[in-house]
Amino acid sequence: MSDWITVREFPPQQDLSELAQFIRRSGLPLRITEERNCQRLATPDPRLNELLQPLLDRWSAGEIDLSQIQVTAQHSETGSDTGQAPGAPGETGGDYQATVAALPSWPLDRTPVSLILILLCFVGWFLASDSFARQLIILPDRGADFSLATSSLAWHFANGEYWRLWTPAILHFSLPHALFNALGIWIVGRPLEVRAGSGVFIVAVLVSAAVANLAQYWWSPGTIFGGMSGVVYALVGCVFVLQRRHPEWLEVPRGIVAVAVGWLLVCATGLVTLLVGVGVANAAHMGGFACGVALAAVYCLAGGDRHFTNDDGAA
């Protein structure tokens, strides 16, 4: 094995069964050998060595499952057309390419804030039918001449009820609404939390929730509203900015942003309310999205977006 290059060494007691299955499934020229004080993964091809390093880093960090990874060989004009990767030094082959076949799966303890938000979606749906919900909403302002100084929001603040800036985001008036927002947090929120860290993530959530709720109240002060859609749209806004800074960061599928923005525009036309008969907090959606874009821009200017490069790994 003198011509084989060491890709990674692992402790002798580490379970490498998942890695062995990946090698068998991919058919790549890789070997795991047991030596005195380690288990050694080796390859004869230096190009494969370079490709595997970041994948192994993320696998060791628990960010991805190797069953979600597909590695293929792209052959050059002088290479064979069999689609098989070269198996020994000197054989003709092309460049290797890695593709993630599914969304990364992180351990639940890496995304505690996202999990709490998901739980709150369903708690808020349960509370929406209870009289306690009155303590969470911003009471509607029925005055014909709306003035912020004499509004119901000003009255809340005068009584020290500052929590109402955030608690409308908890309430959900239907189970589908709670489910969709929980799904949005799972798909968009968890990748952001893993990369940026829970501290930065919770600040973004708190700021965007307040901005979205204030935007909706200002736009329609006489309407009771609730839901975490404003926060979800803020996270979509963050992804929108971050994927333009780092196009290679695809832990949130690109289509998610397009679908979310498309849905926002459709709802803004009033078509959904006309067809379904359910009010939509359009101002909260737009305010949340704008807030997310602004927060992500500041985050990038501060250098935080370095956590979203593929060679950095999760924060």
Which helix (H) or strand (E) segment holds residue 48: the answer is helix 46-60
Task: Pick the catalytic residue from 174, 229, 246, 307.
Answer: 229
Distance (Å) of CA 237 to CA 54, 130, 189: 27, 33, 11
Radius of gyration of the chain (CA): 25
Task: Pick the catalytic residue from 75, 172, 285, 307.
Answer: 285
Which helix (H) or strand (E) segment holds residue 70: the answer is strand 69-74
Contact 295, 238 (CB under 8 A): yes
76 is catalytic: no
97 - beta bridge partners? 72
Residue length, the chain?
A: 315
Place of tokens 């090698």: 23
177 is catalytic: no
Encoded tokens for 89: 């030094």
Which is it for the CA torsion 279, 284, 288, 290, positive or negative? positive
Encoded tokens for 225: 């509203």
Place of tokens 């008036």: 173
Q: Please state, in angstroms and rounded to a whole number, the distance separating the CA atoms of residues 158 and 144.
A: 21
Catalytic residues: 229, 285
